[in-house]
Chain A
Amino acid sequence: MQCDEIKELLAGYQDGELDGAQTAQVREHLAGCEACRTELGRLNKVKEVASKVQYKDLPLEVWEGYWQGVYRRIERGLGWIFASLGAVILLCFGLFHLVRDFFLRPEISIFAKLGVAGLIIGGAFLLVSLIRERMFAYHRERYREVQR
């Protein structure tokens, strides 16, 4: 086996994750290859330092209050959804009355009414297109998040 092939097995050799035949191959190669022995030495140093790393645990009271923290996040999320929904409903209601009053007023010219109607229809098309695009992007994003 060439050095490049052996090197790809070195991590497995260090961790005892190779089978008997692979271990023997690596051992045999290492006996006659100084470059790979040096490489293994460097990797062993990293492994040795990393094996001493142990993170501090958090205080018990932090873990005891953990679920409340998650629950608060859920509550806030729901709060924002309802508040946004309410705001959208109020906005639509207000706009509907505004537009209806505008079109029912006889003193306003038919051209102004046509212009506003065009603006509203165009705006509605743009809004629907934007929402569809966002929804498509959102579904793709969510898919990326949960799949590997």
Chain B
Amino acid sequence: MKKNGSMKEDDAMLMHQLKRGRVKALSGLVEKYKKQAYFLALGMVGNADDAFDVSQEAFLRVYQSARTFDDKQPFFPWFYAIVANLCRNVLKKRQTVDSRQVDIDEVGYLLADDGTPETELLEREEKRKLFAAMRKLPFADREIINLNHFRMMSYDEIASILNIPRGTVMSRLYYARRRLAELMEEDERHAMRRD
């Protein structure tokens, strides 16, 4: 596995080539970051089709905006900002659709199988609550939960990507988790009233 510094140099070289109009350099970046782009978007938009579309559109934006890229800066935070903005646009467009209920089948379609069928059913219900709550979170909270929990990034990595201090990552995570807990508890209370 390559070291971080070497990866940054590779990215800088590919962006340099892309600025000179070599489309092949973009294919190098696509190969390297396509899965990250897709899963980052999936955590934020919660839908596989939209996430796939966002990830491909993000690479098109990289191609179109390559000239504005600052060679002295690392590639990934710049690229992440593009992905996050596209996700924000998708969520804005489907604000009305977002308020609908999240059902178990939908969660099952997105998540990897694990455990026995019995434990899986219970866990799936908990995950459904989490997904339903995630949909109601403001974008900034959803973003930090996605980076920390679903992409398993450290505080330092998140701080570098979002260009915020490490302490802000910590407090933003606290408020996001608290809001998520409140929403999940609310969902539970609704379910109990329905029963």
Q: Is the CB of A74 within 8 A of B60?
A: yes
Q: Is the CB of B170 within 8 A of A11?
A: yes
Q: A8-B174, A46-B177, A145-B85 are in contact. Are A70 and B162 (CB under 8 A)?
A: no
B54 at the interface (CB under 8 A from A): no
Q: Is the CB of A49 within 8 A of B127?
A: yes
Q: How large is the interface on B (under 10, 10 to 19, 20 to 34, 35 or more residues)?
A: 35 or more
Q: Is the CB of A47 within 8 A of B149?
A: yes
Q: Enumerate chain A residues within 8 angstroms of B31, measured Cβ to Cβ.
A: 67
Q: Is the CB of B81 within 8 A of A55?
A: no
B31's closest neighbor in chain A, by CB?
A: A67
Q: Is the CB of B150 within 8 A of A50?
A: yes
Q: A52-B114, A67-B31, A70-B56 are in contact. Are A12 and B170 (CB under 8 A)?
A: yes
Q: Is the CB of B30 within 8 A of A56?
A: no
Q: Enumerate chain B residues within 8 angstroms of A54, measured Cβ to Cβ.
A: 111-112, 114
Q: Is the CB of B60 within 8 A of A73?
A: yes
Spell out B's residues near A (CB within 8 Å).
Answer: 23, 26-27, 30-31, 34-35, 38-39, 42-43, 48, 52, 56-57, 59-61, 63-65, 68-69, 77-78, 81-82, 85, 109-112, 114, 123, 126-127, 129-130, 145, 148-150, 154-155, 162-163, 170-171, 173-174, 177-178, 180-181, 184-185
Give the shortest distance, in Å, between A137 (CB) and chain B (any CB): 16
